[in-house]
């Protein structure tokens, strides 16, 4: 081949490559948002979505330099529909990333689909241990917590003042694991859990359990119910006269619902990886932007959505928006250091957040931070083989 033809051929290849690259970069990233917009977790789903979209808006509507197209569906927090819903997003809609969800059982099924199809998944809430445990995978990450983490932190806190406790929870992965974490922390601090009481998800018939609790008379109680149901739980607890006799501990029990819970929640102590008005420069900016955009202050669910978007952006930027470079995207997220409104956020080898847990007290409409109960808490994830 003459030099001329060689140069011409190279030029053609380069220009085809360049136009392919620029076509690809103007082509939208498809973000699959599989979250509940109905049922007891509807508000949590909205908060996650609002947080995610806020970050994207701050980046001029882009992630990794590419415009973003959202494909959202209501997962109804129904595990029996999870496989079909996740497959719709991955196979029919061909999303580049699965963001979801709130409910541990639904998220575990999504994670199976993500694993099988090598689709990036970022869990912006559900704490199911297996997702970053026995089922952990290079392409599956969490921006939130494992159920064990906040439960363990609450156990450490309760053990500072009490020797005996009873737990109340919904009987599904999140309730079981949260209680397990509480037990571990409480026993580590020298306490003993006397009994675990439970009811089916998403039941709100708390009276029989509260009656049992009153008969057992432990020094403290720990509860895991969540979403809209936690409003009724806290009101029922106060109305039964238990609030003063058996101090109640929780993790999520007052998160995002203080206005609806009113006086019944005043003074309740909880342990989470975020608190209202947390003092750091990132949170100052985040709170202002979130409140401006949505007319209400953010809570932990908004933070987890926002950080899921930050994580994906880090991954995409590492490959200049080229979604085919999957392994490089996963690696970049794995080693990322996210400037989160909760404080610095990094990831364990199982892709679960390493983060501080704060003690919060319910005061007016805020869960105010009073202390840090454990710094840089890592879920041990012994079953994760990555």
Binding site for ligand PHB (CB under 6 A): 102-104, 125-128, 147, 174, 226, 252
Q: Whose Cβ is closer to ligand PHB: residue 75's or residue 313's? A: 75
What is the closest distance, in whole angstroms, from the C-beta atom of residue 241 to ligand PHB in the complex?
26
Q: What is the C-alpha to C-alpha distance for residues 169 and 225, in angstroms, rounded to an integer?
A: 6
Q: What is the C-alpha to C-alpha distance for residues 268 and 272, in angstroms, rounded to an integer?
A: 13
Q: Whose Cβ is closer to ligand PHB: residue 48's or residue 384's? A: 48
Q: What is the C-alpha to C-alpha distance for residues 146 and 385, in angstroms, rounded to an integer?
A: 17
Count of other CB atoms within 10 angstroms of residue 314: 19
Q: Whose Cβ is closer to ligand PHB: residue 101's or residue 323's? A: 101
What is the closest distance, in whole angstroms, from the C-beta atom of residue 45 to ligand PHB in the complex?
10
Q: What is the C-alpha to C-alpha distance for residues 74 and 70, in angstroms, rounded to an integer?
A: 13
What is the closest distance, in whole angstroms, from the C-beta atom of residue 260 to ligand PHB in the complex?
15
What is the closest distance, in whole angstroms, from the C-beta atom of residue 253 to ligand PHB in the complex?
9
Contact 134, 384 (CB under 8 A): yes
Q: What is the C-alpha to C-alpha distance for residues 64 and 69, in angstroms, rounded to an integer?
A: 13
Q: What is the C-alpha to C-alpha distance for residues 326 and 329, in angstroms, rounded to an integer?
A: 5
Q: Whose Cβ is closer to ligand PHB: residue 90's or residue 126's? A: 126
Q: What is the C-alpha to C-alpha distance for residues 309 and 348, in angstroms, rounded to an integer?
A: 19
Decide: helix, strand or coil at residue 367: strand
What is the closest distance, in whole angstroms, from the C-beta atom of residue 269 to ligand PHB in the complex?
17
* Per-position b or e across 3-25, b if 16+ CB within 10 A of its CB: eeeeeeeeeeeeeeeeeeeeeee
Q: Whose Cβ is closer to ligand PHB: residue 151's or residue 218's? A: 151
Over 277-301, what HEC string results?
Answer: CCCCHHHHHHHHHHHHHHCCCCCHH
What is the closest distance, in whole angstroms, from the C-beta atom of residue 177 to ligand PHB in the complex?
8
What is the closest distance, in whole angstroms, from the C-beta atom of residue 145 to ligand PHB in the complex?
8
Q: Whose Cβ is closer to ligand PHB: residue 252's or residue 306's? A: 252
Of 305, 331, 370, 299, the residue nearest 122 (C-alpha): 305
Q: Whose Cβ is closer to ligand PHB: residue 275's or residue 314's? A: 275
């Amino acid at each position: 081949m003459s030099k001329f033809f060689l140069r011409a051929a190279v030029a053609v290849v380069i220009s085809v490559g360049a136009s392919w690259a620029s076509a690809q970069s103007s082509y939208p990233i498809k973000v699959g948002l599989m979250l509940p917009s109905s049922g007891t977790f509807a508000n949590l789903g909205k908060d996650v979505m609002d947080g995610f979209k806020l970050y994207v808006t701050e980046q001029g509507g882009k992630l990794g330099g590419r415009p973003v197209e959202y494909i959202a569906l209501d997962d109804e927090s129904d595990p029996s529909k999870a496989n079909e819903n996740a497959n719709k997003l991955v196979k029919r809609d061909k999303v580049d990333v699965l963001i979801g969800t709130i409910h541990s059982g639904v998220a575990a099924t999504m994670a199976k689909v993500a694993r099988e199809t090598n689709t990036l998944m970022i869990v912006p809430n559900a704490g199911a241990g297996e997702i970053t445990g026995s089922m952990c995978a290079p392409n599956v990450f969490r921006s939130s917590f494992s159920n064990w983490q906040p439960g363990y932190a609450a156990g450490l806190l309760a053990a500072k003042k009490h020797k005996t406790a009873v737990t109340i929870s919904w009987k599904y992965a999140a309730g079981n694991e949260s209680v397990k974490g509480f037990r571990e922390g409480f026993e580590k601090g020298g306490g003993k859990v006397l009994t675990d009481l439970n009811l089916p998800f998403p039941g709100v018939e708390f009276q029989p359990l509260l009656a049992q609790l009153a008969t057992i008379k432990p020094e403290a109680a720990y509860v895991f119910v969540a979403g809209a149901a936690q409003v009724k739980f806290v009101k029922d607890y106060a109305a039964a006269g238990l609030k003063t006799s058996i101090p109640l501990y929780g993790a999520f029990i007052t998160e995002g619902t203080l206005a609806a819970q009113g006086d019944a929640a005043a003074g309740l102590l909880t342990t989470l990886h975020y608190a209202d008005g947390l003092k750091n420069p990132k949170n100052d900016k985040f709170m202002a932007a979130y409140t401006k955009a949505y007319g209400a202050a953010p809570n932990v669910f908004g933070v987890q959505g926002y950080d899921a978007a930050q994580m994906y952006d880090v991954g995409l930027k590492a490959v200049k928006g080229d979604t085919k470079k999957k392994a490089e995207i996963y690696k970049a997220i794995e080693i990322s250091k996210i400037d989160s409104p909760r404080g610095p956020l990094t990831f364990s080898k199982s892709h679960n957040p390493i983060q501080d847990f704060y003690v919060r007290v319910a005061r007016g409409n805020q869960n105010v931070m009073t202390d840090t109960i454990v710094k840089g808490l890592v879920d041990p994830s012994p079953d994760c083989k990555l």
